[in-house]
């Protein structure tokens, strides 16, 4: 991601660095441009109050901080604050217009005029959670969205056999198979209580695949984000979530990335059994969550 110019100076390939950051998030299962919770807000500079734009929204918004407020090192120094030990900053990119005579070399350039060119540059910022001694005047108290429990949803969660521990430590929703726990953003972070429970159901369906529960290979196998096996697991979780939504009487849109959609379409076109496999696995997951052991009418017809 680095190259040397004619003077032997090393320059970073900003495009390559940014692209790799997005790939890293996707490979971890985080879709940077999709989140059903909004408490952290759009990324802004804490001092100026100005919002970051373009790809910077993705770069900063997908980091999972409780509040998307950032500062430069210079701003921290000016207010007498500092970065916590061991913390690393985040990249913010921008276009800089320079005269061609300045001979600033970068990996990718765009011709702006006969005498000027634009160069992709970057600087580093830190989230407020990475800093200490920030004056309180810069950190106004936030008004929390009023939340409430939905009894039908709580009943499903509380009665799930071998229910994994549900934590609210990070601003990310995920199931951790190795440690067998579900992490959820705090309920007030979501657009609605329905969105919270829909996301929780999604992660609980994933958890049924653990080897001590249903031992679903699409979960327990070491699969990569975007692979066919991974897309099957996501479809199982989506179908299961929709069933639980209908059962508990809630509605919430759970948007999926185009990568998932395209993957599912391709599988459906190439394998007529794909949707049946996913539906069957989803039904087993729901039966486990609801602790249903009785034989259904469909199963009776299959067995007879």
Distance of CA 79 to the CA centre of its chain: 32
Alpha carbons within 13 angstroms on the beta-carbon side of residue 35 total 25
Q: What is the pLDDT along the chain (304 residues), one digit of tens a residue?
A: 544 443 333 457 888 888 888 777 766 656 665 554 555 777 899 999 998 887 888 788 878 787 889 999 999 999 999 999 999 999 998 888 777 654 444 444 444 445 777 888 899 999 999 999 999 888 866 666 788 999 999 999 999 999 999 999 888 899 999 999 999 998 888 888 999 999 999 999 999 999 999 999 998 886 665 567 777 888 899 888 888 988 898 876 555 545 566 666 677 777 777 888 888 899 899 999 999 874 344 433 333 3
Q: Hey, which residues does 176 pair with through a beta bridge?
A: 181
Are the beta carbons of 192 and 234 closer than 8 angstroms? no
How far apart (Å, rounded) are the C-alpha atoms in residues 178 and 149? 29
Residue 82: the pLDDT is: 94
Query: CA distances (Å), 149 to each of 25, 168, 174, 291, in order?
Result: 32, 16, 21, 22
pTM for this one?
0.59
Q: Hey, which residues does 3 pair with through a beta bridge?
A: 11
Hey, where are the domains in the chain? Answer: 2-138, 151-303
Query: CA distances (Å), 107 to each of 5, 97, 207, in order?
Result: 9, 15, 44
Are the beta carbons of 61 and 98 closer than 8 angstroms? no
């Amino acid at each position: 991601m680095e190259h040397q110019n004619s003077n032997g100076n090393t320059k970073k390939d900003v495009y390559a660095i940014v692209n790799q950051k997005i790939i890293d998030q996707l490979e971890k299962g985080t879709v940077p441009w999709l989140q059903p919770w909004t408490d952290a807000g759009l990324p802004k500079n804490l001092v100026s109050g100005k919002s970051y734009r373009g790809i910077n929204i993705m770069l900063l918004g997908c980091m999972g901080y409780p509040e998307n407020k950032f500062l430069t090192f210079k701003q921290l120094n000016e207010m007498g604050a500092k970065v916590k030990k061991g913390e690393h900053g985040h990249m913010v990119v921008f276009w800089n217009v320079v005269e061609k005579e300045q001979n600033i070399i970068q990996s990718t350039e765009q011709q702006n005029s006969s005498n000027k060119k634009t160069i992709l540059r970057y600087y580093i910022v830190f989230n407020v959670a990475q800093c200490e001694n920030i004056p309180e005047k810069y950190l106004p108290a936030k008004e929390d969205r009023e939340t409430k429990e939905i009894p039908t949803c709580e009943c499903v969660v509380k009665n799930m056999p071998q229910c994994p521990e549900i934590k609210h430590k990070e601003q990310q929703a995920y199931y951790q198979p190795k440690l067998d726990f579900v992490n959820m953003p705090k309920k007030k972070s979501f657009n609605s209580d329905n969105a919270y429970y829909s996301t929780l159901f999604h992660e609980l369906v994933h958890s049924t695949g653990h080897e001590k529960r249903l031992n679903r290979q699409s979960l327990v196998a070491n699969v990569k984000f975007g692979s066919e096996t991974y897309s099957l697991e996501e479809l199982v979780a989506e179908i299961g979530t929709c069933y639980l939504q209908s059962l508990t009487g809630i509605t919430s849109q759970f948007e999926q990335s185009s990568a998932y959609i395209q993957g599912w379409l391709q599988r459906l076109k190439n394998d007529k059994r794909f949707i049946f496999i996913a539906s069957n696995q989803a039904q087993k997951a729901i039966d486990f969550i609801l602790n249903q052991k009785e034989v259904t009418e469909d199963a009776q017809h299959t067995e007879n």
